[in-house]
Amino acid sequence: MEIVWFKRDLRVHDHAPLLAACASGRPVLPLYIVEPDLWAQPDASGRQFAFLAESLADLDRSLQAGGARLVVLVGDAVQILHDLHASYGITAIHAHQETGNLWSFARDKAVRRWARAAGVPVHEAMQHGVWRAHDNRDGWAARWEAMMRRPRLPAPAAIAMADVAGDALPSAADLGLAPDPCPGRQPGGRRAGLALLKSFMGERGRPYRAAMSAPASGADHCSRLSPHLALGAISMREAFQSALTARQRWKDGGDSQFVGSIDSFISRLHWHCHFIQKLEDAPWLEARCLHPAYDGLPAHGPARLAAWAQGRTGWSFVDACMRSLNATGWLNFRMRAMVMAVASYHLRLDWRQSGAVLARAFTDYEPGIHWPQVQMQSGTTGTNIPRIYNPVKQGLDQDPQGRFIRRWLPELAHLPTPFVHEPWKAPGAAAYPAPLVDHEQAARDARAAITAIRRDPAHAGPARAIVRTHGSRKAGLPDTTRRRKTLPATTQGQLDLCQGTND
């Protein structure tokens, strides 16, 4: 039989591995492996598993339309494939390339070693605009554009199903995941994703360009496709081509605002794959600093980490963002960057620990975007201009009337607007935690620490090497920064993004 190993490509449309298996003429086993060791990793959470379970149920319904079903097996991937080969014989394994966390990278290498020893061919297709074994970014965007403009693949009309029994889908508790209430979590499944795509391109996305920066308006007017793209219920090519179609429709209708917003959305689809490419080229990014000079930065302990994670830093806008994220599983990109920067610069937390906290909180956790961004916002790449956010100014800019703060911090709802942003200044002092540190002094200290590292003559060589491998200067990517002309040549290739890829 031919195995189609579904991982983070939970759809039947635009799915090259599924079509290739069906074209073989042999029985096909649509397989999803629930790997307990994967769910034991520090970036895994119950909300992610709940979204996955809904997406798997939707995929099963889609397979049934072609006369098949999804077979779920629980255990170690190598052992499961070994047992299937011993019992039934595997003629080939079809899958999409996956750029996941470091654990999944090691698992894929183990599967390929087993397959070579067993004489089982493994055919992996590209899913995103991410290339393996490349050494620079020259012409990257042109290749991406060409791939995304290729015709989408249809779902197979019929699937000859292999007769293999499956396991029951375990619960989050069965996998040892901690209780993870998330009342505002997005529902999983392709149908939910397609509804979001339709509403975004049809009406919701009109104010996207202006609305994406603030957490409240972003929740309504960002596409919210990110969890569906992360699990592959919708392909990147589907999102891109839908955007092109909508852009032309709104251009013909004279709606310049909507056209501009779709242009911004399309640029973020490019950046989505640009960041995944970084992790593809450096799978260890979740474990050590991109530039080794930053590995020795001091970090504070669990008390500060817990206060930040639970929204108890004393900076009301930061706390509102963290509480919103904990309750919904989503946060707009600018605020993701801010809370990460506050953790690293102001609170001096180890980015690996705070990055894992955010990974678990994001329903749309995409390792290839997450870990490069964590390092960018922590100043550990050695090439990006440090973006040290002022947590009070961000609140005044993005929530000037304090409505978002009052929604997520009801204990501050009684304060007048000037004090809701700085409750420690309220007359009589509000019943709210004082800031963990003075944010202005903390920013000065962080800037001084990074400047000292960068002034070391040994810093420049590794930084240039990082730009050659990961930089976007010759890639042809859309410019999302206004600071390009003022940047020194050593940092120009690796720009600090004002907006991002989880919008």
Question: CATH code at 380?
Answer: 1.10.579.10
* Mean of pLDDT over the chain: 91
List strands edge to edge, sheet with 71-74. 71-74, 28-34, 2-6, 92-96, 122-125
Is it the case that residue 322 has pLDDT exceeding 60? Answer: yes
Q: Are residues 347 and 460 in the same domain?
A: yes
- Tell me whether residue 331 is in a domain: yes
CA distance 427 to 30: 64
Q: 471 to each of 56, 384, 477, 494, how far by Cα in Å?
A: 36, 10, 10, 5
Q: Are residues 7 and 106 in the same domain?
A: yes
- Tell me whether residue 500 is in a domain: no
What Rg value do the Cα atoms of the chain yield, rounded?
23
- Tell me whether residue 166 is in a domain: no
CA distance 259 to 243: 10
- Tell me whether residue 202 is in a domain: yes
Q: Which whole number is the average pLDDT over 298-317?
A: 94
Residue 125's pLDDT is 96
Q: Are residues 275 and 308 in the same domain?
A: no
Is it the case that residue 450 has pLDDT exceeding 60? Answer: yes
Q: Are residues 334 and 448 in the same domain?
A: yes
Domain end (from 127, 152, 168): 127
Nearest by Cα to 47 from 181, 247, 209: 181
Confidence of residue 465 (pLDDT cuts 50, 70, 90): confident
Q: Are residues 350 and 463 in the same domain?
A: yes
Q: Which whole number is the average pLDDT over 210-231?
A: 97
Is it the case that residue 201 has pLDDT exceeding 80? Answer: yes
Residue 459's pLDDT is 87
Question: CATH code at 95?
Answer: 3.40.50.620
Q: Are residues 7 and 29 in the same domain?
A: yes
Confidence of residue 455 (pLDDT cuts 50, 70, 90): confident
- 179 CB burial (10 A radius; 0-12, 13-18, 19+): exposed
Residue 207's pLDDT is 98
Is it the case that residue 291 has pLDDT exceeding 90? Answer: no
- H runs (alpha helix) in 126-255: 140-149, 190-199, 208-211, 215-221, 226-230, 236-252
Question: CATH code at 212?
Answer: 1.25.40.80
Q: Are residues 447 and 300 in the same domain?
A: yes
Q: Are residues 335 and 406 in the same domain?
A: yes
- Tell me whether residue 390 is in a domain: yes
**Percent of the chain clearing pLDDT 70 (strictly above):** 93
| More confident position, 119 or 471 | 119
Q: Is 265 annotated as a binding residue?
A: yes
- Tell me whether residue 170 is in a domain: no
Residue 297's pLDDT is 77
Q: Which whole number is the average pLDDT over 123-137?
A: 86
Question: Residue 49 has which token pair?
Answer: 């598993």
Domain end (from 78, 97, 127): 127
Three-class DSSP category at 217: helix
Residue 466's pLDDT is 78
Residue 492's pLDDT is 27
| More confident position, 19 or 494 | 19
Residue 61's pLDDT is 98
| More confident position, 476 or 458 | 458
Confidence of residue 141 (pLDDT cuts 50, 70, 90): confident
CA distance 267 to 249: 18
- Tell me whether residue 155 is in a domain: no
Residue 63's pLDDT is 98
CA distance 229 to 236: 7
Q: Are residues 21 and 60 in the same domain?
A: yes
Confidence of residue 429 (pLDDT cuts 50, 70, 90): low
CA distance 318 to 422: 11
pTM for the full model?
A: 0.92
| More confident position, 272 or 457 | 272
- Tell me whether residue 481 is in a domain: no
Residue 457's pLDDT is 85
Residue 139's pLDDT is 83
Can you give the residue range of the structural domain that contains 360? 292-470
Is it the case that residue 316 has pLDDT exceeding 50? Answer: yes
| More confident position, 234 or 297 | 234
Residues 45-69: tens digit of each pLDDT: 999 999 999 999 999 999 999 999 9
Task: Look at the chain and report how many structural domains it folds into.
Answer: 3
Q: Are residues 265 and 355 in the same domain?
A: no
Q: Are residues 322 and 465 in the same domain?
A: yes
Range scoring the smallest mean pLDDT among 218-222, 271-275, 429-433: 429-433
Range scoring the smallest mean pLDDT among 19-23, 127-131, 456-460: 456-460
Confidence of residue 472 (pLDDT cuts 50, 70, 90): low
Q: Which whole number is the average pLDDT over 353-371?
A: 97
Q: Are residues 215 and 249 in the same domain?
A: yes
Domain end (from 127, 151, 178): 127
Is it the case that residue 178 has pLDDT exceeding 80? Answer: yes
